[in-house]
């Protein structure tokens, strides 16, 4: 007992001593932390140089705006209006006048400086506890100027980590399917963008139907389903080189692919003669292994983060339900028992939860349950939505939702949405076109 | 015992009201549904005179209905007469299911049709199977009639 007490103290102490401000992320965002994000200061010479290279009038303002938007989107912070700031960016970064920031009710303050050095972008920033009048963190890094948006995301991650005690999820990307055209003949392309919707890029041309892209653990590769030459097969795409290859040599449809947590295998379904089972293929030696062997439909496999278990979707009970098995296919156990149908199980990066889509009485829900099926919690209900994907810190889910565009129930639109694990902070994620099948990358800076 | 009886009666009432609602639906959809299987001809095309190209399924089902079997027997007869023709069976699901599950469901529906054609003497190497899941609906609506048209297996001439 004493030992356990000591252990807790050891874990808590470092946090308690240094973090004077804390953001509780386990509950809803009822009281977002008021934070002032001062524009990063920039000297005239650097300003001119960055303007030439990046066509941005004031890079310091631009980067601080990224941080501000990220913090606001998280729902945990309330970035204050810049017009109310009394202190100039350069002076604030040297030594904030805490009374001034206190006056506008800021509890935390971010300041910083941007310089152009040897053709590089150098950024330093500081996080201040306004109430205690103390510096909480100071960091600097140098990178190529074109990385300026990522700098904003990395700063947000550091601030988020310092104030919540958890990993951030801002320096990340989303891969998804861009959709256009009528529902009966949808054009679908793979697309990739930053987590905040910027730097959107299309990875395929839309000549063939593509579905369900998913990142490799290192974010360099994507596995997805393509109808190239009308043969639906799982493909592998290298994001940098654009090289694509089909995964394995299966005499029928392969689909529902995901990477194993070590990135060495693809797990997927293979359908033959009306029966879908789960297979893996080792990407190095190309060895194919059959994991499930059952006359029912077995699909949507997803590994636990330690690679020891697989959750999947099967209709062996008569209807779609969620199951868990050992990664060798043994010890199959059904875990979903609520009313309705369950699909698209996906293991959280923390390992403790499985997110899913539930269909019940004509409604679609996104929910989570523990890995033994207990503690089911439905986060959001709608006419049509599915396919949750976890943020790398396991705090946010992104999914897609279709809505009718008029009251007669005609026309439709598909968009990406995100919601916190708490069930709060439901938001549409802006995309250029309609969008579906989102998959969240891991942190790029790791 | 008594309680069980009450439950039973209650169940019958529920059943009766379900049947009544079903009738109401049928009226609204112009008698194009039997149960929830599409029996209309709006979307049907013909491989040859009198040979419909598609069969329809009940929700979440892959079992062939009597009407589906009749259509497939006509297709089999036509294929026997035209022995150089090969076909693709395109299996589809309605939108009320998750994408990946529906891909598997479409594959299973197309294979139901394939199996039936094979029992009527059509060689498996003349039939290939392609599932579109819920990706290619014929009717973009979100109502029982639209869904019934979309739950289908379509035989498409491949050569």
Checking if the pLDDT of A13 tops 50, the result is no
Q: Terminus-to-terminus CA distance in chain B, angstroms?
A: 65
Cβ–Cβ below 8 Å for A343 and B111: no
Q: Which residues of A210-237 are buried (b: 16+ CB within 10 A; e: fewer)?
A: bbbbbbbeebebbbbbbbbeeebbbbbb
Going from the C-alpha of B70 to that of each of A186, B117, B120, B122, the distances in angstroms are 32, 11, 12, 15
Closest CA to A429 of A205, A236, A172, A187: A172
Domain presence at residue A138: yes
Q: A105 lies in which domain range? A: 16-164
- pLDDT tens-digit readout, B32-81: 999 999 999 999 999 999 999 999 999 999 999 999 999 999 999 999 99
Residue B26 pLDDT: 44
A228 has a chain B CB within 8 A of its CB: no
B5 CA to centre of own chain: 37
Of residues A176 and B27, the one with the higher pLDDT is A176
Closest CA to A64 of A109, A117, A102, A96: A109
3 state SS for A373-417 = CCCCEEEEEECEEEEEEECCCCCEEEEEEEEECCCCCCCEEEEEE
- Mean pLDDT over each residue of chain A, to the nearest integer: 92
Nearest by CB to B98, from A271, A276, A386: name it.
Answer: A386
B42 has a chain A CB within 8 A of its CB: no
User: Are A152 and A40 a contacting pair, CB within 8 Å?
Assistant: no
Residue A31 pLDDT: 85
- Mean pLDDT over each residue of chain B, to the nearest integer: 87
Q: How many domains does chain A have?
A: 1
| Probe site for chain A from B64, B103, B109, B118 (most A CB atoms < 10 A) | B103
Of residues A358 and A412, the one with the higher pLDDT is A358
Distance between CA atoms of A36 and A110, rounded to whole angstroms? Answer: 6
Residue A404 pLDDT: 80
Domain presence at residue A154: yes
- Beta-bridged to residue A35, according to DSSP, are A79, A108
Residue B139 pLDDT: 94
Nearest by CB to A184, from B105, B138, B143: name it.
Answer: B138
Residue A5 pLDDT: 40
CATH number assigned to the domain covering B32-157: 3.30.1330.60
Domain presence at residue A32: yes
Domain presence at residue A401: no
Checking if the pLDDT of A15 tops 60, the result is no
Looking at beta carbons, which residues of chain A come within 8 Å of B92? none
Distance between CA atoms of A315 and A336, rounded to whole angstroms? Answer: 12
A28 confidence band (pLDDT: 50, 70, 90): low
Looking at beta carbons, which residues of chain A come within 8 Å of B141? 409-410
Residue A11 pLDDT: 38
Cβ–Cβ below 8 Å for B101 and A313: yes
A232 has a chain B CB within 8 A of its CB: yes
Distance between CA atoms of A214 and A217, rounded to whole angstroms? Answer: 9
A292 has a chain B CB within 8 A of its CB: no
Checking if the pLDDT of A168 tops 70, the result is yes
B27 confidence band (pLDDT: 50, 70, 90): very low
Query: For the domain that residue A23 is a member of, what is the CATH number?
Result: 3.40.50.10070
Of residues B78 and B9, the one with the higher pLDDT is B78
Domain presence at residue A376: no
- A196 CA: distance to closest CA in chain B (Å): 26
Helix (H) or strand (E) holding B120: none
Domain ranges of chain B: 1-30, 32-157
Of residues A15 and A24, the one with the higher pLDDT is A24
Domain presence at residue A137: yes
Q: Which residues of A1-12 are buried (b: 16+ CB within 10 A; e: fewer)?
A: eeeeeeeeeeee
- pLDDT tens-digit readout, A137-158: 999 999 999 999 999 999 999 9
- A405 CA: distance to closest CA in chain B (Å): 12
- pLDDT tens-digit readout, A325-341: 999 999 999 999 999 99
B138 has a chain A CB within 8 A of its CB: yes
| Probe site for chain A from B64, B98, B139 (most A CB atoms < 10 A) | B98
User: Are B87 and B127 a contacting pair, CB within 8 Å?
Assistant: yes
Nearest by CB to A255, from B62, B103, B108: name it.
Answer: B103
Residue B37 pLDDT: 96
B101 has a chain A CB within 8 A of its CB: yes
């Amino acid at each position: 007992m004493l030992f356990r007490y000591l252990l807790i103290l050891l874990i808590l102490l470092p946090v308690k001593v240094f973090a004077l401000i804390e953001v509780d992320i386990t509950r809803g965002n009822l009281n977002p932390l008021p934070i002032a994000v001062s524009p990063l200061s920039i000297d005239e010479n650097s300003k001119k140089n960055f303007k030439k290279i990046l066509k941005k009038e004031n890079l310091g303002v631009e980067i601080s705006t990224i941080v501000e938007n990220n913090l606001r989107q998280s729902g945990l912070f309330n970035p204050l209006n810049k017009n109310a700031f009394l202190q100039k960016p350069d002076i604030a970064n040297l030594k904030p006048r805490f009374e001034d920031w206190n006056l506008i009710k800021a509890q935390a303050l971010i300041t910083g400086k941007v310089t152009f050095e040897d053709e590089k972008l150098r950024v330093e920033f500081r996080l201040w506890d306004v109430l205690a009048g103390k510096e909480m963190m100071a960091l600097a890094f140098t990178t190529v100027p074109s990385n300026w948006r990522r700098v904003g995301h990395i700063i947000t991650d550091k601030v988020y980590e310092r104030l919540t005690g958890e990993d951030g999820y801002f320096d990340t990307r989303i891969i998804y399917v861009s959709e256009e055209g009528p529902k009966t003949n949808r054009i679908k392309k793979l697309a990739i963008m930053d987590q905040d919707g910027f730097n959107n890029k299309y990875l395929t041309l839309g000549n063939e139907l593509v579905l369900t892209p998913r990142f490799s653990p290192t974010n360099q590769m994507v596995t997805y389903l393509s109808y190239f030459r009308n043969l639906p097969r799982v493909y592998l795409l290298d994001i940098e080189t654009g090289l694509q290859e089909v995964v394995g040599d299966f005499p029928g449809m392969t689909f529902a692919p995901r990477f194993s947590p070590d990135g060495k295998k693809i797990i997927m379904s293979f359908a033959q003669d009306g029966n879908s089972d789960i297979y893996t293929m080792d990407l190095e030696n190309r060895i194919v292994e059959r994991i499930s062997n059952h006359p029912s439909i077995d699909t949507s496999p997803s590994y636990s983060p330690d690679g020891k278990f697989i959750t999947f979707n099967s209709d062996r009970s008569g209807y779609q339900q969620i199951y868990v098995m050992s990664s060798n296919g043994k010890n199959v156990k059904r875990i979903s028992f609520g009313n309705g149908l369950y699909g698209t199980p996906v293991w959280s990066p923390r390992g403790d939860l499985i997110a899913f889509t539930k269909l019940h009485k004509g409604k679609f829900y996104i929910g989570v349950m523990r890995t033994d099926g207990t503690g089911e919690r439905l986060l959001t209900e709608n006419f049509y939505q599915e396919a949750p994907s976890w943020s790398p810190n396991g705090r946010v889910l992104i999914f897609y939702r279709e809505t009718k565009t008029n009251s007669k129930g005609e026309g439709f639109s598909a968009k990406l949405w995100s919601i916190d694990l708490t069930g709060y902070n439901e938001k549409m994620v802006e995309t250029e076109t309609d969008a579906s099948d989102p998959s969240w990358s891991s942190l790029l800076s790791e | 015992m008594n309680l069980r009886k009450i439950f039973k009666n209650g169940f019958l009432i529920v059943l009766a009201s379900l049947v009544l609602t079903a009738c109401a639906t049928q009226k609204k959809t112009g008698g194009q549904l039997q149960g929830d299987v599409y029996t209309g001809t709006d979307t049907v095309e013909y491989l040859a005179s009198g040979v419909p190209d598609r069969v329809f399924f009940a929700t979440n089902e892959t079992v062939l209905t009597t009407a589906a079997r009749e259509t497939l027997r006509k297709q089999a007869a036509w294929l026997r007469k035209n022995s150089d023709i090969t076909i693709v069976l395109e299996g589809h699901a309605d939108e009320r299911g998750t994408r990946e599950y529906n891909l598997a469901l479409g594959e299973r529906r197309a294979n139901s049709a394939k199996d039936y054609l094979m029992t009527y003497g059509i060689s498996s190497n003349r039939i290939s199977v392609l599932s579109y899941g819920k990706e290619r609906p014929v009717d973009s609506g979100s109502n029982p009639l639209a869904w019934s048209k979309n739950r289908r297996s379509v035989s498409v001439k491949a050569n």
